[in-house]
Amino acid sequence: MPAFLKRHGYTLWIAFLVVLASMHFWHLRADFPNHSPWEDWSKYTDEGWYGNAAIRAHLFGNWYIPGDFNPAPAVPLWPFLEWLLFFVSGVSLQAARGLSLSFFLINLWLAYKLFRERGPRWVGLLASTLLATSPFIYCFSRLAILEPMLISLTLLAMNLAVRLPRFRHREFVAGLIGILFTLMMLTKTTAVFLLPALVWVIALPYLRQRRKLIRLLVAAGGSAALSFSIWMLLVLNFDLFPDYKYLFFINDYKKAQGLVGHFMSFWWSFHGGLWADVVLIPLAGVLLLVALWGCKKEWARELWLDPIFGGSVLAAAGYIGFMTYQNHPQPRYYTVVATFSFFVVIRIVAQFLYSEARLRKVGVALLCLVCGTALANTVWTLRYVLNPQYTWVHAADDLTGYIDAHPNGKRLLVSISGDQLTLTTHLPSLCDDFGTEDLVQKLNDYQPGWYAAWNDLDPGTLEDIHRHFSLEQVAAFPAFDDPERNVLYLFKLHPWKNPAPRDDAPAALQVPLPEDKFTVPIE
């Protein structure tokens, strides 16, 4: 058996990765796993929001709804790819999630290629294994959100950057890296916090060759600035800058104040890494401290002179820095942190294994810990694979079926999860919470017939609705597991027969009116 494993070990390892990666594609309509440790609002909204331009273009003939939430001007790359895909697949939740998972597969390959450039095959395969076995990455890679593609573009840029010294036309390749950075920015604007990692990977081999370094940085920075400027000119030319700017407005959360506030914001963001993995993330932090402490020793100097290691550290730190600045960490953000933290662990373990005998023993112990964690994560992931649930798609289908069976004015729904419903069942919708027009104006412009809310009614939203409509609660649809968002309530909107309530009494509109018929709490 040992001889067999020695001959065929890599083949078996790759086969294991292929099977496990393929399992990510099973049950694509299934819920984000209920009762997981990760309560992330993206499963209610983001799949529809960030692809709504592609969804609308195919279903309704126009990607843009004036006054509604239109994020495509700021993050156009994902909806553009979905738009191309939907010509082949049609608009469906499975197609959108399949596209996201295609980037997950690319990430496995790019992780392998990144480590294979500067190390043995097993190191690259171990990097892919930690990504493929992670239940955290399994859950979020199966959502049609922006992070998997952002990681793909980042890894592609890093792969090019670590190979720069091998290219004859290095400035041209650096220019390609700059264009990739623009694509990263057009995928998710938080990519700017990954820029230090890319600069480090480009610059490290040329720190003693200043002229070459300056040429490479100018080529990369110039191509990034030029390509991004071209996009911004298009945004301005087509009068889409208000929509571009709006994405930053809605993500402007209350910032921490004072030294203690900033420290607590950092701790919240740093500690949130435990969402991703309770073993590998703390291990990455401990090993990084060891590498800093021993930076004068030969093994640590070799480590820090490896652009993959420094780039991975800066990528993880950059995203933690973004969450610290934003003061609003969310589980899905840690897909980036987890990916590069896993790389930090693998690179340090490999360094120990190829160092002096005393460190090799430590490396073997760490490798056993990493492999044990990967095995436990595989079992966890398989539990999710083998136990799919469909509460969301059943709720979406039932809600749409109710609307079709009980006509009420225009077949148009207003809801925070409206775009998610449109992706799932093709029901036309507007977002009640976000948009360049306030809700009162949107209701006046589009005259919807329906409204849906999770668990309760927001008093401000109720006030806006009361400017034009009374509400009749007609159905409830259980979905998901979040105690704050596990029932989707459907309301008919009835235009006022008499003049609408006056604008000078907002508080009076935040409570049930005599014409209303609902029992949902107002909170």
pLDDT score for 5? 59
pLDDT for 295: 81
* Residues 296-340 pLDDT 10s: 888 889 999 999 999 999 999 999 999 999 888 899 999 999 999
pLDDT computed for residue 452 by the predictor: 98
Query: How would you label 242-275 residue by residue, b for 16+ Cβ within 10 Å and e otherwise?
Result: ebbebbeeeeeeeebeeeeeeeebbeebbebbeb
In this structure, the chain runs to a length of 523
What confidence score (pLDDT) does residue 1 get?
47
Q: Which of 432, 484, 492 is nearest to 463 (CA)?
A: 432
User: Which pLDDT tens digit goes with each residue over 194-205?
Assistant: 999 999 999 999
Cα–Cα distance measured from residue 523 to residue 512, given in angstroms and rounded to the nearest whole number:
12
The secondary structure of the chain in percent helix, strand, coil, rounded to multiples of 5, reads 65, 5, 25
The kind and range of the H/E element at 116 are helix 93-116
Give me the residues of the chain with pLDDT under 50, please: 1
List C-alpha distances in Å: 187 to 2, 78, 191, 316.
46, 6, 8, 18
Predicted structure pTM score: 0.95
Residue 258 has what pLDDT? Answer: 85
Give me the pLDDT at residue 410, please: 95
